[in-house]
Chain A
Amino acid sequence: MAENGHENGHGHGDNAEYYSLKAEAIQALLIEKGVCTLDDILTMADRIDSRSPEDGAKVLAHAWVDPEYKQRLLADAESALLELGYDLPETAPKLTVLENTDDVHNMAVCTLCSCYPRAILGRPPAWYKGLAYRSKVVVDPRGVLQEFGTELDAAVQVRVIDSSADFRYLILPKRPAGTEGMSEEDLAKLITQESMIGVAQALSPDSVTAS
């Protein structure tokens, strides 16, 4: 990597001013060329900002308590989300939910850019878009899990999903032990953004009841 932080001729590091100017220029061109209107852009930005990891957690907690809902969610995520009032925009990429179990642990990445299930989780965390995560997780996923403090038995299969095309992947974390009597609302608090990307497990119930 060059000293000025320009790796592969791309990447302007933390140069926020550069990106801000570039975004403004692209926006002006899109409007001028009639590709879309300013209103379209603002509506889309509002739509993304209206979603957060709490929305994903709510859906996945419902899947934990209702096995039949879980089956529908895994088979056809978009219809299942609609049941809970989440109407994904037609322009949004397709969504698939992958379930983590005792035998399989899924982790999501986009090595090409920053594809992420924004339609349900909102904007991705900064590290998800960073070169470090994107390049390391496909080569050494277990090393990444360790960095996030996630312990996983060697007998559990790790499956990395690189969302490179028309689908976005939401991970359904494994329901932790000791959560049998918990309400759906409390269960949702255990489902973190990191666990829905697959770099972490859901939180243990102690972490919620203690607060």
Chain B
Amino acid sequence: MAKYQRGDRVRIRVGVPPTHFRTPEYVQGKRGRVETLCGVFPNPESLAYGGDGLPAQPLYTIEFSQTELWANYKGPTTDTLLIDIYEHWLENI
């Protein structure tokens, strides 16, 4: 059911819906790697308004290089950031 697996390269979709969403703008448009498939969860964008959260969304931990997120990152290039993102926010690269 899940479209991606560990190690896949993905890009986070860009979008700022006027409603509730849980994909911070600082990762939008950025390229990362699937670290873990966390499971399948009701969609919070539906739950927030009393909806049933269906269709449920696969949830992944995505790992980014800090230098991908911030052009002027001060630390070593090996530093990373992980964040949990629902599948409908992921795009193929």
A138 and B22 contact, Cβ closer than 8 Å, known pairs A94-B38, A94-B39: no
Measured CB to CB, the nearest residue on chain B to A140 is: B74
Measured CB to CB, the nearest residue on chain B to A162 is: B83
Q: Which of A11-19, A151-159, A189-197 contacts B (4 or more CB under 8 A)?
A: A151-159
A166 and B41 contact, Cβ closer than 8 Å, known pairs A112-B22, A142-B74: yes
- In the complex, whether B68 has a CB less than 8 A from a CB of chain A is no
Are A165 and B78 in contact, CB atoms less than 8 angstroms apart?
no
Question: How extensive is the interface on chain B, given as a class?
Answer: 20 to 34
Measured CB to CB, the nearest residue on chain B to A142 is: B75
Are B80 and A164 in contact, CB atoms less than 8 angstroms apart?
no
Inside 8 A of B22's CB, which chain A residues have their CB? 112, 164-165
Are A166 and B82 in contact, CB atoms less than 8 angstroms apart?
no
Alpha-carbon distance between A6 and B12 when the two chains are bound, in angstroms = 30
Inside 8 A of A100's CB, which chain B residues have their CB? none
Measured CB to CB, the nearest residue on chain A to B23 is: A164
- In the complex, whether B44 has a CB less than 8 A from a CB of chain A is yes
Measured CB to CB, the nearest residue on chain B to A159 is: B80
Measured CB to CB, the nearest residue on chain B to A33 is: B50
B interface, CB within 8 angstroms of A: 22-24, 26, 38-39, 41, 44, 59, 61, 63, 66, 69-70, 73-76, 78-86
